A and B are shown apart, each in its own frame.
Chain A
Amino acid sequence: QVQLQESGPGLVKPSETLSLTCAVSGGSISSDDTFYWNWIRHHPVKGLEWIGNVHHIGSTSYNPSLKSRLTLSVDTSKNQFSLRLTSVTAADTAVYYCARDGGNKSGYALDIWGLGTQVTVSS
């Protein structure tokens, strides 16, 4: 079965760039054209926030609140997708999850999630 695993630094300094990767195992990231690969974060107070998604052909959709600082990409040769968020502040401190939009399999809901990775922005 498909599994997702986030990786990246747990601590990032203010004004620097956060980079995270989500490795996909148990299946190909390109196996179904209806799949989209998502990033979501969980703030302690604000709750869950959808960051954006990327398709295996490289097309993206971003949350407007983050669009100016955000880049999502996919590497089909490594079967993974990535997040890059620039100019981070303490407000970007959260648990970051990657998740699959299961397309036709799940009515386009997020049917597979990673365990999440804690990211803290602090000097």
Chain B
Amino acid sequence: EIVLTQSPGMVSLSPGERATLSCRASQSVSSGYLAWYQHKPGQAPRLLIYGASNRATGIPDRFSGSGSGTDFTLTIRRLEPEDFAVYYCQQFGRSPWTFGQGTKVEIK
């Protein structure tokens, strides 16, 4: 199965700062099948990015995704208070679908 490794495991940032989250795959992933999710405690996970770089419906443009092959990045341009959460990448190009272990973005 494809293993996704996210880094860093946790990052401490202040509102207004830029967050850059990495997702590295053990095998090449078709860009069309790489997604990013945001998860807050007690809430349903929320789709942010699909197809590596396409924002899902209603997602603010401060969120952007990039990358191809084995290296993908989620960038949050200017952190808002509501952006502090855990972020997961997921590949669904090769079964079984797999997730990264998550990056926690916490308030500094």
Contact = CB atoms under 8 A, between A and B. Distances in A.
B45 A65 contact: no
A115 B39 CA distance: 11
Contacts, number: 63
A110 B37 contact: yes
Interface stretch (B12-20, B21-29, B70-78, B95-103): B95-103
A26 interface: no
Contact of B43 (A48, A99, A108, A115): A115
A114 B42 CA distance: 11
B44 A107 contact: no
Interface in A69-117: 97, 99, 101-102, 106-116
A116 B90 CA distance: 18
Contact of A63 (B88, B92, B96, B100): B96
A65 B45 CA distance: 23
Interface in B35-86: 35, 37, 42-47, 50-51, 54, 56-57
Contact of A47 (B92, B95, B99): B99
Contacts of A107: 32-33, 35, 50-51, 54
B47 A109 contact: yes
Contacts of B57: 111
A112 B43 CA distance: 12
Nearest to A113: B44
A48 B51 CA distance: 20
Given A97-B44, A115-B43, A110 B35 contact: yes
A108 B100 CA distance: 18
A64 B50 contact: no
Interface of B: 32-33, 35, 37, 42-47, 50-51, 54, 56-57, 88, 90, 92, 95-102
Q: Top 7 nearest A-B pairs by Cβ distance?
A: A109-B50, A107-B50, A48-B99, A109-B35, A113-B44, A50-B97, A107-B51
Interface of A: 40, 47-50, 61, 63-65, 97, 99, 101-102, 106-116
